[in-house]
């Protein structure tokens, strides 16, 4: 059984590995293994994760069963959207998907921002399981972007939003 808890620095090597494996399993067929490796090295390295872990007005959680980190989630108050939180990451290792881990991590993250009136996220348009998950948890599509994650990624995304409170 997995328990959701706040991540610590000692989790980051395992989280980085989980993100690499999950991204390759999810996105290699869409972007190719080289592009996925490039993005993973940039976005999911231990130093990049350490910055997220230290950020104020943010929450970084892991699903831990005492042996494995089965999932991770990261959300923060938006720096640009008034009264908005952003779900930046919610990933479950392919081996542990469809066991309620994503649901449990999301349930924790959506309660961490009492001043937020809504939560927003970006999701790959061809990632139908993720889109279905978010829709089942109250998100609706509000727009699109051609640069998911940062200004120059070249990765398209659907922007989804959910009211909080």
pLDDT of 153 = 66
Predicted pLDDT of residue 162: 97
* Residue that has been written with the tokens 């699903």 in this structure: 63
Q: Which pLDDT value is given to residue 128? A: 92
Enumerate the H helices of the chain as residue ranges: 12-31, 33-43, 46-54, 101-109, 128-136
Residues of the chain with pLDDT below 70 are 149-151, 153
- Which pLDDT score is estimated for 160? 96
| pLDDT per residue as tens digits for the range 62-75 | 999 999 999 999 99
Q: Which domains does the chain have, with CATH numbers?
A: 3-163 (3.40.630.30)
- Predicted TM-score (pTM) of the model is 0.92
Alpha-carbon radius of gyration of the chain: 15
Taking only the tens place, the pLDDT of each residue in 70-102 is: 999 999 999 888 899 999 999 999 999 999 999
């Amino acid at each position: 059984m997995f328990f959701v808890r706040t991540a610590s620095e000692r989790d980051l090597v395992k989280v980085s590995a989980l993100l690499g494996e999950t991204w390759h399993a999810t996105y290699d067929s869409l972007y190719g293994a080289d592009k996925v490796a490039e993005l993973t090295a940039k976005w999911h390295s231990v130093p990049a994760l350490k910055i997220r872990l230290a950020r104020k007005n943010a929450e970084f959680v892991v699903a831990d069963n005492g042996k494995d980190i089965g999932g991770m989630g990261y959300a923060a108050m938006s720096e640009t959207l008034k009264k908005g939180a952003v779900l930046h990451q919610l990933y479950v290792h392919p081996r542990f998907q469809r066991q309620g881990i994503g649901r449990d991590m999301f349930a924790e993250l959506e309660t961490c921002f009492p001043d937020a009136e809504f939560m927003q996220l970006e999701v790959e348009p061809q990632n139908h399981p993720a889109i279905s998950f978010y829709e089942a948890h109250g998100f609706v599509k509000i727009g699109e972007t051609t640069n998911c994650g940062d200004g120059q990624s070249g990765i398209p995304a659907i922007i989804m939003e959910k009211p909080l409170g």
